[in-house]
């Protein structure tokens, strides 16, 4: 459901309730040949399912979905996804489902049911209030009103204390305010409620980095990457830690990994260019600066660094030619011998 709500095309099996859940929006792949696996409680007792056949059908379905997004079919595919997202948001959000439960409990209309209705209704009100404060906090944070953002995040937590995302957002604001201990405490709460929450480890690393606790920051970034290997920001920040420790090759490797994930990160291209220039790899550094200017034509820092690297390359080229000419000139000069010495 999360993938459907995010606007992703879905390719999955026809197992269990997936046909009902996906409501015609997914490309369902036949489980023919793997019925034993789908029909027994203990998977170890299943026969030998035809995984090769299923894999082939799954790949064919995936390729078919991808082809539908090409050319003239792109508009149809986009309309399909818009309908899918609208369907999920209309019928599968917590507030909608909670109301459905309330209606069902009202139908059975017994005392325990009425108690449950009251509890669910109160919980629904709390969740909606928490969400409203969270959204307002995000808006104030983006506008630079950090105090207002903190106030709204804290109100959101009064209604929903276990919301890891709110604790993480609160930590981000504390980092911006320079209150790094509070930021780390909020990150710890986020991780408590959601242990495999990579963004919380990223923010924890940022707070530790600001406190100049580089080794601890590295551990936090590595934990974020262990949970979410394709986390460009964590890779980039890890690279910056290695740079501060003088481990330039490790820094470059991390920057390269971040750019493999997201080549459009101007700041990472700029940082990698600086490290490459320090290593004397001027052509690669120049390419990084040019990439930044391609993405951000008005980036003054990139323009300055590009000029510096280009000038350095010209000097080294000139020096190299001068040394070469000097060597050739020296090799061509005959050695004179004084007759008296001879």
CATH number at residue 266: 1.25.40.10
Residue 308: partners with Cβ closer than 8 Å, 6 or more residues away: 277
Q: Per DSSP, which regions of the chain are E strands?
A: 11-13, 27-29
Does residue 176 lie in a domain region? no
Q: What is the pLDDT along the chain (342 residues), one digit of tens a residue?
A: 777 777 788 888 877 777 777 777 788 877 665 544 444 344 444 455 566 777 888 888 888 888 877 765 666 777 777 777 777 776 666 666 666 666 666 655 555 545 554 555 555 546 778 888 888 999 999 999 999 999 999 999 988 888 899 999 999 999 999 999 999 999 999 999 998 999 999 999 999 999 999 999 999 999 999 999 999 999 999 999 999 999 999 999 999 999 999 988 899 999 999 999 999 999 999 999 999 999 999 999 999 999 999 998 888 777 665 555 455 545 444 434 444 443
In residues, how long is the chain?
342
Does residue 342 lie in a domain region? no
Does residue 183 lie in a domain region? no
Q: Which two structure tokens, joined as six digits, stand for 34? A: 């793997």
Does residue 256 lie in a domain region? yes
Residue 28 β-bridge partners: 12
Distance CA 42, CA 337 (A): 98
Q: Which two structure tokens, joined as six digits, stand for 182? A: 């509070």
DSSP string, 133-147: HHHHHHHHHHHT-HH
Burial status of residue 145 (CB atoms within 10 A of its CB: 0-12, 13-18, 19 or more): middle
Distance CA 209, CA 178 (A): 12
Work out how many domains the chain is built from and give that number. 2
Alpha-carbon 35 to chain mean position: 37
Does residue 244 lie in a domain region? yes
Residue 284: give the domain boundaries. 230-322
Does residue 159 lie in a domain region? no
Q: How many CA atoms lie within 13 A of 21 on its CB side?
A: 15
Note if the pTM is more than 0.75.
no
Distance CA 304, CA 286 (A): 11
Does residue 17 lie in a domain region? yes
Does residue 189 lie in a domain region? no
């Amino acid at each position: 459901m999360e993938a459907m709500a995010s606007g992703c095309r879905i390719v999955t099996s026809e197992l269990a309730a997936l046909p009902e859940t996906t409501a015609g929006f997914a490309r369902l792949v036949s489980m023919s040949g793997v019925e034993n696996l789908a029909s027994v409680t203990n998977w170890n007792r299943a026969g030998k399912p035809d995984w090769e056949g299923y894999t082939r059908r799954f790949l064919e379905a995936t390729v078919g979905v991808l082809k539908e997004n090409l050319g003239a079919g792109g508009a149809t595919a986009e309309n399909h996804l818009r309908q899918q997202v609208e369907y999920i948001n209309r019928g599968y959000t917590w507030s909608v489902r909670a109301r459905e439960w309330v209606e069902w409990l009202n139908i059975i209309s017994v005392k325990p049911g009425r108690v449950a209705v009251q509890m669910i209704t109160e919980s629904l009100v709390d969740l909606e209030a928490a969400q409203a404060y969270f959204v307002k906090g995000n808006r104030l944070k983006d506008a630079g009103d950090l105090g207002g953002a903190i106030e709204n995040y804290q109100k959101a937590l009064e209604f929903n204390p276990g919301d890891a995302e709110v604790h993480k957002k609160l930590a981000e604001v504390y980092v911006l305010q320079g209150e790094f201990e509070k930021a780390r405490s909020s990150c710890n709460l986020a991780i408590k409620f959601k242990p495999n929450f990579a963004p919380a480890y990223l923010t924890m690393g940022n707070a530790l980095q600001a406190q100049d606790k580089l080794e601890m920051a590295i551990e936090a970034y590595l934990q974020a990457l262990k949970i979410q290997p394709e986390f460009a920001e964590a890779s980039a920040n890890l690279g910056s830690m290695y740079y501060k420790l003088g481990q330039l090759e490790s820094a470059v490797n991390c920057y390269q990994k971040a750019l493999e994930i997201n080549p459009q990160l101007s700041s990472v291209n700029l940082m990698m260019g600086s490290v490459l220039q320090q290593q004397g790899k001027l052509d690669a550094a120049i390419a990084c600066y040019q990439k930044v200017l391609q993405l951000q034509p008005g980036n003054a820092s990139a323009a300055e660094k590009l000029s510096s690297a280009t000038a350095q390359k010209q000097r080294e080229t000139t020096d190299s030619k001068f040394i070469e000419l000097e060597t050739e000139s020296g090799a061509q000069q005959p050695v004179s011998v004084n007759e008296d010495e001879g």
